[in-house]
Structure 1
Amino acid sequence: MGLGIETRHRIARRAALEIKDGMTVNLGIGIPTLVADYIPKELHIMLHTENGILGMGGSPAEGKEDGNLSNAGGYPVTIQPGASYFDSATAFGIIRKGLLDVTILGALEVSEKGDIANWIVPGKRVPGMGGAIDLAQKAKKVIILMNHTDKFGNPKIVKNCSLPLTVREGAHMIITEKAVFHCEYGQLFLREVMNPYTVEDVINTTGAAVIVDEKVSVFQ
């Protein structure tokens, strides 16, 4: 079962707290696109898209959409003063040179070591890997936003990924509707739980070993 709109926005709101003044940030397709709406206006942030924008803003007001201005997922966006446009080759040059401070991506599975599988379910049709393989390897910090379990209730945070990998040990953080994890030293640390879930709820639905911090905070 997919996440409700309110829950998706809560995950995005938590992820936005990881973005600091002066950063250049890439937002992936899905829940990550929502993060743009929760970045404080007083921060000087440059949002980057693979389709060729540096200085993207949040979603436009209803009726103010520009059919020629979208993010990499094809959804309408705004731009900030000083924004620039360029081709995809330049957009990927920015990624591959390691100029992104943060990328926020979705995933199908993440292992306890931070391995990321987010581009294909075997047997399903997909257009290709997209930019995820470059982003997950080259960004200074990689944050994964996703459902805690799949539609059958199986954990998506696992000891070892069963799906084809995008990158090994690429994730630094995982944020789900239930918890916030940090991937450090090949281990998974539980630092926060999302209200109304408990530490026990999280452990029981996580398919990997979890190290619980002494003081786990609750995110509202």
Structure 2
Amino acid sequence: MNVREKIARRAALELSDGEVVNLGFGIPIEVPNYLKEGIFVSLEAENGCLMSGPTPYYGEADSDNGNAGGLAITLTSGAAIFDLADSFGIIRGGHVDTAILGSFEVDQEGNIANWAMNAAGGNLAPGMGGAMDLVTGARKIVVTMQHTDKKGNSKILKRCHLALTGIGVVNVIITERAVFKVQDGPLLLIEKDPEYTVEDIIACTEADIEVSPDLVDYRMSGINA
């Protein structure tokens, strides 16, 4: 199992039956493939779709149906296609229960920075897209990302260095090593990969950490939860 699948499987456990959910680019897009049996959510794509389904198998994609990242999607029974104005009316109107987003950085204050100029090899990276609206319109924000960058530096910081997409909006942070809840003060460590000790997690995380008295091993949909 690769890192992306592991994180997506854990993120799937954050969703409850009946929710309206928006998924960001990257890891979040894989989450619908790992929903627990009996959990039905209405996926909302910011480019104008409600009730999309899992990623289609190779050769079964319809080129007319895609998400905000331009990737093929399936449509479930009762799905609706609509324009961008209606889509952002749903988002800004507070009708999205949970948004799962990727990020370059997140910090212990619940701030998120999910875009940066010159982030991709000296080229201008795409802007923050609909994330600016999602972090203020959705009721719950879940961030999914790798714990460290390619140089081994923590991406979970005391304070973000990049321009912020949202201030104090993140509720849950999921990496391949640990799961944190954002609270007043230090991040609350609620799950960790059993291959890492608490000391390991503290060592690879810049943000201040409080260990939950109910700390458990890392859970994944379809694996151990």
Q: Normalising by structure 1, report the TM-score.
A: 0.94
Higher alpha-carbon deviation: 164-173 or 114-123: 114-123
Report the equivalent of 2:197: 198
Query: Per the alignment, in what secondary structure is the counterpart of residue 32 of structure 2?
Result: helix
Q: 1:42 to 1:151 in 2, by over 3 A?
A: same
Report the equivalent of 1:207: 206
The number of aligned residues is 216
Preserved contact between residue 121 and residue 163 of structure 1 (Cα < 8 Å): no
Alpha-carbon distance, 1:217 to partner? 0.5
Pairs within 5 Å for 1:114-193: 114-121=110-117, 124-193=123-192
Query: Per the alignment, in what secondary structure is the counterpart of residue 182 of structure 2?
Result: strand
Pairs within 5 Å for 1:60-139: 60-121=56-117, 124-139=123-138
Report the equivalent of 2:223: none
Preserved contact between residue 109 and residue 118 of structure 1 (Cα < 8 Å): yes
Unaligned runs of 5+ in 2: 220-225
Aligned-residue CA RMSD (Å): 1.4
CA-to-partner distance for each residue in 1:39-72, whole Å, 9 max, x for gaps? 1352231000011110010111221011111111
Query: Per the alignment, in what secondary structure is the counterpart of residue 177 of structure 1?
Result: coil
Unaligned runs of 5+ in 1: none
Amino acid at match of 2:135: A
Overall identity of the aligned pairs, in %: 47
